[in-house]
């Protein structure tokens, strides 16, 4: 097969950039971090590549207001930079915030740093993610998702609690990250103008468009950390692969037969369903392999796995056994290097939502960018030379886009616009985005909010309404926030809070392909009112989530059911907004519950007798029901649905509704 010559040469360093080159003969460069019980944590920290650059880094960061830090995955920048700053007294006047795009990363990193600082999690080191706050008055190093820091900025636009904000994994460019860039940049400027305590901003990543980031953050200098890179052999397929799942399966067993048992394999897939299907197939085939091939341990890894199960990827396989890790792109930015990974395979696909404002359709799977492909390949060369199998042709690789399209340019902006207006941004249409979304997407989002009653137009300006300001208080999509706020009118607040919290886990209902013929014979506990009402019944299974057989018989995903968070945080927000008006009712009437849901979800309505739904642009689109839906047979006349997936226009999570409720919810629509 043709082989790739390797990544393109590094850019020439701009004036003002600092480049820290590590000596390959130094111990810190040759010893990757390993979880060794015999080795004290402080010794492990000194073995990290970044340790050699500590004096120079602190000297630079002490004087700079903003800095762009580029360092290879595994160099230790994420865990060590906050500690270096705190230990050196930089930013001790307030909190040091470290943002992560993913909640699992924020939680894991906080736990690791707390262990390194020998402190209880929640004291000196803490974290804040959606539905969970593990901090105290003692907390100085605070790990959090970028969305949570953005929510704090609504009440404190200058972020006065913080003296340092570290924006980590900036290359992922999630929608919250891009908005946070603008908010932090504005807070930094305003604090300087008002003679407040300065805000230091550090942007970190392994790969990014440094010119774009440096220019956006007022031409900030770039600090480069160069780690050791072992040679990686790149392989491509000779022909395009129509079925990348089959290609991945064949590649796994070809490598398993030929590579030494000490070479573990990392395979990138797009999502949980693919990973679980491939894992089952691998385990079934492995049972029938000859003894000469040796055993294999298949370990899945995706964001919704419980933390204890995620940690299995770091545990070494038994002697003579090969570990096969099937992962989403979460493995691109893991807390620490997974040992023994020397072979990596990828179909070149990633699950990333791309929203069409005209149709409301979300397409999930798409091709990776070249930058993402190179970052993935680096996972195979962390400890020794490795191999990378790209399950597509070299010509297909050459046709990939150079950088990943930022999420802000491919998502529904309704929530973003609501947050910006709650932040007091005077002109949301011209907010200082690093990469501006299309005018069509912005206008579509504002129209969406206008229909929900969250905004109104006055004198040519878009302003928040009283309802919209309350909606912005929730860490939820605007439609769910409105549903909660109007639920007291139908005496169903507690049940609505349960439904909304359950919707945070997308795959609570489980309809395995091998049992589709059993759908018609589902147990009576499944609600005929739709998926939303069935979620209330699933709520009871949380107490018995360990009983896998009972969950399986009732088509409940026992693994994900254990992840469902309590709605206490949402209840607290409700009471803070208006404790006198928003009482929490315990009596429920199904019709009222459906009408309450219609208040927030009337934009997602489908008249299934006509097999078509009116889209935001006024056109009609033929829709079908997702195979996991309760209402797949028989199909009712009218439904509300949560989202549209893929080009086949599949509706996921439906709720039975009547036409009158739709009209009452939004007569103008």
Contact 364, 270 (CB under 8 A): yes
Domain closes at, from 473, 494, 521: 473
Q: Cα separation of 240 and 236, whole Å?
A: 10
Give all strands (DSSP E) within 259-306, no chain letters: 264-268, 296-301
Shared-domain flag, residues 315 and 403: yes
Shared-domain flag, residues 250 and 356: yes
Q: Cα separation of 346 and 377, whole Å?
A: 9
Lowest mean pLDDT segment, chosen from 430-439, 534-543, 648-657: 648-657
The more confident residue out of 392 and 551 is: 392
Q: Tell me what the mean pLDDT of segment 299-328 comes to.
A: 81
Those residues with Cβ within 8 angstroms of residue 471's Cβ, 6 or more apart along the chain or in another chain:
418, 452, 454, 478, 481, 482, 485
**Is residue 403 very low, low, confident or very high in pLDDT (cuts 50, 70, 90)?**
confident
Shared-domain flag, residues 76 and 208: yes
SS3 64: coil
Shared-domain flag, residues 206 and 244: no
pLDDT one-digit tens code per residue, 71-130:
876 678 889 999 999 999 998 889 999 999 888 789 889 998 999 999 999 999 999 987
Rg (CA), the chain: 26
Q: Tell me what the mean pLDDT of segment 162-166 comes to.
A: 97
pLDDT one-digit tens code per residue, 565-624:
555 677 777 877 764 454 444 444 556 666 777 776 666 555 444 444 444 444 555 555
Residue 624 Cα distances to 11, 112, 238, 436, 527, angstroms: 49, 45, 37, 33, 20
Look-up of token digits 């998702």? 145
**Is residue 339 very low, low, confident or very high in pLDDT (cuts 50, 70, 90)?**
low
Look-up of token digits 């000196």? 124
pLDDT at 102: 81
Tokens encoding 609? 């007798």
SS3 450: helix
**Is residue 35 very low, low, confident or very high in pLDDT (cuts 50, 70, 90)?**
very low
Shared-domain flag, residues 327 and 211: no
pLDDT of residue 142 exceeding 80: yes
Phi/psi for 165 (5° steps) reads: -120, 120
SS3 472: coil
Those residues with Cβ within 8 angstroms of residue 164's Cβ, 6 or more apart along the chain or in another chain:
85, 90, 91, 94, 95, 96, 97, 199, 200, 201, 202
Q: Tell me what the mean pLDDT of segment 193-200 comes to.
A: 94
pLDDT at 47: 78
Give all strands (DSSP E) within 2-60, no chain letters: 18-21
Those residues with Cβ within 8 angstroms of residue 439's Cβ, 6 or more apart along the chain or in another chain:
none
Shared-domain flag, residues 181 and 280: no
Residue 26 lies in a domain: no
Shared-domain flag, residues 494 and 575: yes
Domain closes at, from 202, 225, 248: 225
**Is residue 140 very low, low, confident or very high in pLDDT (cuts 50, 70, 90)?**
very high
What is the CATH classification number for the domain harbouring 445? Answer: 1.10.10
Q: Which residues of 400-415 are buried (b: 16+ CB within 10 A; e: fewer)?
A: beebbebbbbbbbbbb
Contact 467, 491 (CB under 8 A): no
Q: Cα separation of 290 and 304, whole Å?
A: 34
pLDDT at 666: 64
The more confident residue out of 481 and 601 is: 481
Lowest mean pLDDT segment, chosen from 275-289, 292-306, 354-368, 400-414: 354-368
Shared-domain flag, residues 62 and 136: yes
Task: Report the range out of 47-51, 57-61, 339-343, 517-521 with the highest average pLDDT.
Answer: 57-61
pLDDT at 601: 66
pLDDT at 26: 36
Residue 152 lies in a domain: yes
| Structural domain containing residue 539 | 478-665
pLDDT at 614: 46
Q: Tell me what the mean pLDDT of segment 423-441 comes to.
A: 84
pLDDT of residue 404 exceeding 60: yes
Shared-domain flag, residues 331 and 387: yes
Lowest mean pLDDT segment, chosen from 96-110, 202-216, 294-308: 294-308
What is the CATH classification number for the domain harbouring 73? Answer: 3.40.50.300
pLDDT at 200: 96
pLDDT at 315: 82
Q: Cα separation of 392 and 366, whole Å?
A: 14
Shared-domain flag, residues 72 and 116: yes
Q: Cα separation of 497 and 285, whole Å?
A: 44
Q: How many domains does the chain have?
A: 4
pLDDT at 100: 92
pLDDT at 9: 38
**Is residue 193 very low, low, confident or very high in pLDDT (cuts 50, 70, 90)?**
very high
The widest CA-to-CA distance across the chain, in whole angstroms, is 78
pLDDT at 308: 66
Q: Cα separation of 341 and 377, whole Å?
A: 11
pLDDT of residue 34 exceeding 60: no
Contact 248, 267 (CB under 8 A): yes
- Provide the whole-model pTM: 0.70
φ/ψ region of 295 (left if φ > 0, alpha if ψ in -120 to 50, else beta) reads: beta
Tokens encoding 44? 């492990």
The more confident residue out of 215 and 613 is: 215
Instruction: Report the 10 Å Cβ neighbour count for 312.
Output: 14
For the chain, percent of residues with pLDDT exceeding 70? 65
pLDDT one-digit tens code per residue, 229-265:
567 788 899 999 888 889 999 999 999 988 888 888 9
Shared-domain flag, residues 55 and 162: yes
pLDDT one-digit tens code per residue, 348-392:
887 766 666 665 555 566 788 887 787 777 666 666 678 889 999
Shared-domain flag, residues 499 and 545: yes
Lowest mean pLDDT segment, chosen from 17-21, 394-398, 454-458: 17-21
Contact 345, 264 (CB under 8 A): no
The more confident residue out of 413 and 25 is: 413
Domain closes at, from 442, 473, 504: 473
Contact 233, 255 (CB under 8 A): no
pLDDT at 550: 65
pLDDT at 442: 87
pLDDT at 1: 45
Residue 465 Cα distances to 451, 458, 574, angstroms: 12, 11, 17
φ/ψ region of 187 (left if φ > 0, alpha if ψ in -120 to 50, else beta) reads: alpha
Best CA proximity match to 129, nearest among 110, 106, 155:
106
pLDDT at 67: 95
φ/ψ region of 284 (left if φ > 0, alpha if ψ in -120 to 50, else beta) reads: alpha
Q: What is the mean pLDDT of the chain?
A: 75
Does the bond joining 634 to the residue before it have cis omega, within 30 degrees of 0?
Answer: yes
pLDDT at 165: 97
Residue 297 Cα distances to 47, 313, 334, 547, angstroms: 29, 10, 20, 24
Those residues with Cβ within 8 angstroms of residue 667's Cβ, 6 or more apart along the chain or in another chain:
none
């Amino acid at each position: 097969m043709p082989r790739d010559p390797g990544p393109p040469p590094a850019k020439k360093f701009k004036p003002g950039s600092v480049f820290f080159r590590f000596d390959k003969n130094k111990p810190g460069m040759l010893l990757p971090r390993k979880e060794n019980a015999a080795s004290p944590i402080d010794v492990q920290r000194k073995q990290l590549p970044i340790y050699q650059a500590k004096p120079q880094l602190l000297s630079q960061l002490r004087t700079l207001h903003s800095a762009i830090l580029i360092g290879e995955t595994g160099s230790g920048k994420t865990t060590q930079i906050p500690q270096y700053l705190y230990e050196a007294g930089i930013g001790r006047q307030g909190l040091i915030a470290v943002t992560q795009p993913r909640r699992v990363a924020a939680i894991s990193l906080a736990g690791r740093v707390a262990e390194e600082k020998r402190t209880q999690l929640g004291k000196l080191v803490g974290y804040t993610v959606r539905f969970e706050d593990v901090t105290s008055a003692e907390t100085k190093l605070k790990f959090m998702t970028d969305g949570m820091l953005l929510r704090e900025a609504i009440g404190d636009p200058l972020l006065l609690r913080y003296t340092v904000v570290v924006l980590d994994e900036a290359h992922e460019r999630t929608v919250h990250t891009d908005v946070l860039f603008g908010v932090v940049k504005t807070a930094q400027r305003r604090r300087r103008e008002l003679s407040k305590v300065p805000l230091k901003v550090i942007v970190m990543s392994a790969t990014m468009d440094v010119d774009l980031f440096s220019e956006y953050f007022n031409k900030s200098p770039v600090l480069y950390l160069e780690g050791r890179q072992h040679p990686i052999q790149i392989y491509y397929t000779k022909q395009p692969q129509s079925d990348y799942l089959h290609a991945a399966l064949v590649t796994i067993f070809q490598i398993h037969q030929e590579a030494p048992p000490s070479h573990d394999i990392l395979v990138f897939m797009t999502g949980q369903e693919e990973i679980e299907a491939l894992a089952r197939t691998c385990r079934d085939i492995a049972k029938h392999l000859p003894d000469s091939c040796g055993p294999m341990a298949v370990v899945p890894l995706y964001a919704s796995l419980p933390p204890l199960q995620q940690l299995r990827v770091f545990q070494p396989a038994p002697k003579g056994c090969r570990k096969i890790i099937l992962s989403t792109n979460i493995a691109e930015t893991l807390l620490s290097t997974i040992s023994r990974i020397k072979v990596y395979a990828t179909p070149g696909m990633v699950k990333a939502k791309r929203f069409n404002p005209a149709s409301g359709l979300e397409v999930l799977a798409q091709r990776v960018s070249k930058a993402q492909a190179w970052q993935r390949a680096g996972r195979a060369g962390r400890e020794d030379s490795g191999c990378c199998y790209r399950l597509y042709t070299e010509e297909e690789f050459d046709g990939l886009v150079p950088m990943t399209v930022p999420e802000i340019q491919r998502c529904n902006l309704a929530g973003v616009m609501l947050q910006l207006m709650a932040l007091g941004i005077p002109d949301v249409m011209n907010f200082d985005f690093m990469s501006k979304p299309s005018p069509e997407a912005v206008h579509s989002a504002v129209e969406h909010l206008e229909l929900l009653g969250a905004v109104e137009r006055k004198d040519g300006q878009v302003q928040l309404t009283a309802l919209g300001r309350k909606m912005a208080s929730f860490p939820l999509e605007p439609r769910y926030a409105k549903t909660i706020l109007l639920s007291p009118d139908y005496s169903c607040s507690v049940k609505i809070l349960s439904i909304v919290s359950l919707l945070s886990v997308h795959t609570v209902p489980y309809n395995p392909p091998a049992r589709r013929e059993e759908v018609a014979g589902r147990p009576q506990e499944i609600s005929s009112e739709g998926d939303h009402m069935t979620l209330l019944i699933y709520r009871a299974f949380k107490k018995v989530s360990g009983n896998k057989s009972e969950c399986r018989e009732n088509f409940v995903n026992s693994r994900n059911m254990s992840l469902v968070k309590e709605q206490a945080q949402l209840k607290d927000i409700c009471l803070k907004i208006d404790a006198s008006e928003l009482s929490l009712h315990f009596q429920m009437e199904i019709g009222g519950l459906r009408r309450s849901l219609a208040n927030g979800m009337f934009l997602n309505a489908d008249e299934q007798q006509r097999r078509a739904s009116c889209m935001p642009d006024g056109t009609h689109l033929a829709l079908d029901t997702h195979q996991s839906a309760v209402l797949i047979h028989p199909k009712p006349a009218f439904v509300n649905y949560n989202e549209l997936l893929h080009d086949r226009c599949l509706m996921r999570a439906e709720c039975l509704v009547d036409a009158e409720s739709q009209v009452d919810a939004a007569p103008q629509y």
